[in-house]
Structures are given as C-alpha cells and as structure tokens.
Structure 1
Amino acid sequence: MNSNSTAPKITPISRIESFRCAFAGIWHTFKTQRNAQIHAVIAVAIGALALALRVSLTEWAILALTTGFVIAAEMLNTATEAAMDFATTEFHPQIKIVKDVAAGAVLISAITAVVVGALILGPPLLNIIFGGFAG
C-alpha cells in the first residue's frame, strides 16, 4: 500500500457520520414511501406469526434475509427514483426504463418473499387450521 495515498482517512467520527447518514436514509424511506411502510407492517406481522408458529432458527434466518432483501430493494428503488427526478423533470424514455426496472426489482423481491413466507409459514399454519392435514 502506498503511504502517499490520497484516500480519506477513516476516523471514528467519519464512521459515526456514515451510520448517521445511513439511518437518515432508512428514516426517509419509511417516512415518505407508502410501499416501504406496507412492507414494514407485513414484516412485523410475519415476525409475529413466525413467533406464534415457533419456526426454527434456520427459518427465522431465511425470513429475516428475505425481509431485508425486500426492504433493501425498496430503498434502492427510492434512491433511483430520487436521482432520476433530480436529473430531469421532463419525460425521457430512458429514465422511464430506469424507474421501471427499479420498480420491477422491488416486485420480484416481494414475490420471492411471498413464496418464501408461504413455504415456511404455510405448512404449520395449515396444520393448525386443518388439524394435521398439511406438512
């Protein structure tokens, strides 16, 4: 490594500032984006259901990763839309593609989460509802 590097020195203060900015982005997303709020409510409901059904630690990990995947996709979509709106207020077909692809990523992640949730929570839930016919 070159000791004459021009890379900024990482200090505890700069690291704290990085976290502050990250939390500000998370807060902005949940404060301003209706879909992020919906995802958060669903995540809490899924967590409560997983607790009630006593899913395994591995299943908890899978549910947590899937939930994080959806929230991260929503945040990237929010950032993409903000950047594109900043770039121009006029319609541009390329910007429409960028926004549509970002929104599509959120949809894919949400569909994936529904499938994962159904695979993990469905059998024990059906077992409770129908008394031993599922799973």
Structure 2
Amino acid sequence: MTGIKTVYREERNMRTHTIAGILTIIAGIIFRLNRWEWLWLLLSIFLVLVMEMINTAFENVVDMVTDFHFHSIGKKIKDMAAGAVLLTACFAIIVGMFIFLPKIYQWIF
C-alpha cells in the first residue's frame, strides 16, 4: 500500500492516468457497457496504471544506481520503460475506440 501512496504522491503521470481512467469508467456507466466491454476497459486501465508504476520503479532504481548522474545505459533503461507505458497507453486507446466509437456513432445518428 505504501508503494501505491508513494507513486500517487510523487508521480504526476500516475495521477493523470488515474483521472483518465476514472473519466473512462464514467463514460462506461453512461454508455451502459456489457460485461465483456467492462472487462476489456478495466484491463486496459489497470495495465496502464501498473506499467506506470513499473516505469517509476525503473526510473528510481536507475537514479539510485547512477546517483542522478547521466549514464547512457541508464538513459536506455528509462527510455524503454517509458516506451512500455506508451505502448500500453496506445493499447488502452485502441480498446477505448473499439468500445466507444460505435456507441458514440449510434448516439449521434
């Protein structure tokens, strides 16, 4: 529990991802998603949050080992961890589009 509190207190991106997830859940309630849509939606949200926590852990380990000095391997590690978050966020967006675009289209027309 301490790790979750720490990441929320120290990482702005974690708070941003959480707000986006909450807004998405609200949209899911409004559009009355079915069980499978909820499953995919919640999986996507939690994957992004978990990847953000792993990314933060990698960043902290690199900073600890390098004593906050630049190191090319440290930069690679941080870039790869950030890339994993980006890929997961893209997956979440694709899932959201599959779920919400047909519903928005149906609502408009």
Q: Same fold (TM over 0.5)?
A: yes
Of the candidates 15, 37, 40, which is equivalent to residue 37 of structure 1? 15
- Mapped to 2, the partners of 1:33 and 1:126 lie a distance apart of 35
Shift of residue 122, structure 1, vs aligned partner? 1.1
- Which amino acid letter does the alignment assign opposite residue 11 of structure 2? Q
**Bigger Rg, structure 1 or 2:** 1
2:90 paired with 1:105:
no
| Partner Cα distance (1:121, 1:111) in 2 | 15
> Does structure 1 residue 126 correspond to structure 2 residue 105?
yes
Structure with higher helix content = 2
Matches of 1:30 and 1:123, distance apart in 2: 33
Q: Which structure exhibits the higher relative contact order, with contacts defined as CA atoms closer than 8 Å and separated by 6 or more residues?
A: 2
Cα drift, residue 27 of structure 1 = 1.2
Superposed CA deviations along residues 17-70 of structure 1, whole A, max 9, x for unmatched, are xxxxxx111111111111111100000100000000001011101111111110
RMSD (Å), alpha carbons: 0.7
Within 1, Cα distance between the matches of 2:104 and 2:23?
A: 14
The count of corresponding residues between Structure 1 and Structure 2 is 108
Q: Does 1:73 align with 2:62?
A: no
Unaligned runs of 5+ in 1: 1-22
User: Structure 2: where are the runs of 5+ without partners?
Assistant: none
Percent of paired sites with the same residue: 34
Query: After TM superposition, what 4+ stretches of structure 1 lie above 6 angstroms from structure 2?
Result: none
TM-score, length-scaled by structure 2: 0.96
Write the letter of the residue equivalent to 1:98. Answer: I
